A and B are shown apart, each in its own frame.
Chain A
Amino acid sequence: MTAARMTSGRALGARSEGLRRDGLRRDGAWPWLFVMPLLTGVTVFYLYPIVATLWMSLTKTGEFGRGSRFVGPANYETLVTDPKLLGALGNTLTFTGIVLLGVPISVLLAALISRPGLRFAKVYRVLYFMPYVAMPVAVAIVWKMIFNGEYGILNYALRSMGVANPPYWLSTPGVALIAVSILGLWSSIGFNMIIISAGLKSIPVELYEAADLDGASPTRQFFSITVPLLTPSIFFLSVMTGIGGFQLFDTIFVLISPMSPAMPSTKSLVYLFYQEAFVNGNRGYGAAIAVFVMALIGLVTIIQFRLQRRWVTYV
């Protein structure tokens, strides 16, 4: 900063001189040296794959995963009538919906953690954030034990609280998805709180002072000042949760065994994609699922951006 101020006089002169010489300054070959390494990789590993997947989704993979022939939109025709796909779509949406419940919970917790003069705020912040940084696979391994129907600690706790027949969380169709969602909720709260806390910091203190003078209760202040001014952060989180929800894979892979009776009613879109493309060697069909997921995420995101005008307050 100091350096910038000290040299600014000279720099201003230099800039106007540069502008006089050739209008817009060009940097010759230098920019290309800077961007080429990245652009090469992006082209090979990202742009080409998009085209390749689109093409692949129009082909059928031969026996033993060898060779492929063009079949046009046949994969998509199979896809839209495939009960497995509809199931996976429903499961994914349910999961995303439950994890979205974490947003209001996070707003409440972040508001509490940001109270001025709160002791141990730093300790709380670290503890709440741990699930977000921990390896999902490792975390899912212990949740598998916690959720275990017979010797899991969760059912032990439920039984001692008087619940007669707590469910077999991971092997009961319908219930297993809730277990997976609870884990998703648990690991998302920390990140949500960080984003909300940053949003809270940007609310001017004067608003609360004025509300205090007008005699507004803390609860009233929370709903009339805090929540409306947090809507941009809340919107950002719902978009991120929406996109993240569609990526559900690790937890299911570890928590639910492939042969479990609960698998069909828990399986996510990405899990279905993995199974078709890499386990069954059905690349063409897998590619069609991937394209479908992309279209869906695009659609959901567009809808969210459309709806935001109705409820997000920008200052």
Chain B
Amino acid sequence: MSRTKRYGTMWLTHAVLILGAFTMVFPFFWQIWLSLMSNAEVTAVPPTLIPAQFKWQNYVTVFERIPFLNQFWNSVLITVIRTIGQVVLCSLAGYAFARMHFRGRGALLAVVLSILMVPGQIYLLPQYQLIQGMHLLDTTWGIVLPGIFSAFGTFLMRQFFVGLPNELEESARLDGANPFQIFYLVMLPLAKPAISAVVITTVLWSWNDLLWPLVVTSQDKSMPLSVGIAMFAGRDTTDYSVMMAAATMAMAPILILFVALQRRVIEGLAHTGLKG
């Protein structure tokens, strides 16, 4: 009886969930909607609900106002380099911390993990000075460099490798494989869930992060999109519809990737949550 009762209230569940979903999605819809209006329509009182005609021109104007292509390319480069870098460095180190024996292993792991407890601002000033000293301000490498080394990624990889059985390694060792071959050919292919968790968190963070790239870039052309559109929004207080178009284009790649890979992304992040 209680089964049927449960299904009987399904419509109420849907009502609540639809209301919530509307709240979640409305700003995205509204951003696209405003990006297709004229500036006069965006700032009209009361607000324009339906534009007289869709002004696709706004999307073209973005490229005249900010070096969008440069900034887009910067964001892509930063994201790709950081992700590859983290996967390589974190899986190597995570593997060694999990499955190799060496002096000081526990202490070194504790030191790496202690970084997770410290808020980012602690590093920011000296990191800035280091990048400045290396003459890397306003360069892709300057933005990428500190974030290539990740304690969190190392932790994720280590937790995964710790849980794998010994037998695989042992039999590969008997077959004469050296430790790198064992890692690369036997263990790494098994670590896909952990690798995808590292990839997802790094991509999201690299594409979206504001504070660090804001600090190390000052020229429009060397900024990633997050800084570029924040600057555009701060500087240009009149051209709202073009601003909306720029913001829409800036977040579109990640949202499209997310919708395409939704299950993987959600599972990957749930994984980081449970282990973190």
Chain A residues within CB distance 8 Å of chain B: 3-4, 7-8, 10-12, 14-15, 18, 24-27, 30-35, 37-39, 41-42, 44-50, 52-53, 56, 108-109, 112-113, 115, 117-120, 122, 124-131, 133-139, 141-146, 150-153, 156, 159, 186, 189-191, 194-195, 197-198, 212, 218, 236, 240, 243, 246-247, 249-250, 253-254, 257, 270, 273-274, 277-278, 283, 286-287, 289-291, 293-294, 297-298, 301
Contact = CB atoms under 8 A, between A and B. Distances in A.
Given A24-B101, A26-B101, A250-B211, 13 more contacts: A25-B101, A34-B93, A34-B100, A35-B97, A38-B112, A49-B125, A56-B125, A128-B20, A195-B274, A197-B270, A243-B119, A277-B125, A290-B125
Nearest to B28: A130
B20 to A, nearest CB: 6
B108 A39 contact: yes
Nearest to A197: B270
Nearest to A129: B266
6 contacts: A35-B96, A45-B123, A142-B247, A143-B27, A236-B273, A250-B230
Contact of A254 (B27, B115, B123, B233): B233
B225 interface: yes
B231 to A, nearest CB: 10
Contacts, number: 307
Interface residues of B, number: 106
Given A153-B30, A286-B125, A212 B2 contact: yes
A270 to B, nearest CB: 6
Given A31-B100, A46-B115, A129 B258 contact: yes
A290 B130 CA distance: 18
B211 A113 contact: no
Q: Is the interface of B mostly helix, strand, loop or mixed?
A: helix
Interface in B80-125: 88-90, 92-93, 95-97, 100-102, 105, 108, 111-112, 115, 117-125
B208 A30 contact: no
Interface in B239-267: 240, 243-244, 247-248, 250-251, 254-255, 258-259, 262, 265-266
A249 B210 contact: yes
Interface of B: 2, 5-7, 9-10, 13-14, 16-17, 20-21, 23-25, 27-28, 30-31, 34, 42-47, 88-90, 92-93, 95-97, 100-102, 105, 108, 111-112, 115, 117-130, 145-146, 148-149, 151, 154, 165-168, 170-171, 173-174, 178-180, 183, 204, 207-208, 210-211, 214-215, 225-226, 229-230, 233-234, 240, 243-244, 247-248, 250-251, 254-255, 258-259, 262, 265-266, 269-270, 273-274, 276
* Chain A contact residues, majority secondary structure: helix
Given A7-B167, A118-B10, A134 B28 contact: yes
Contacts of A44: 130
Contacts of A127: 21, 24-25
Most central of A11, A186, A297 by chain B CB within 10 Å: A11
A130 B125 contact: no
A4 B125 contact: no
Contacts of B117: 297-298, 301
Contact of A156 (B20, B46, B88, B154): B46
Contact of A145 (B24, B145, B151, B244): B244
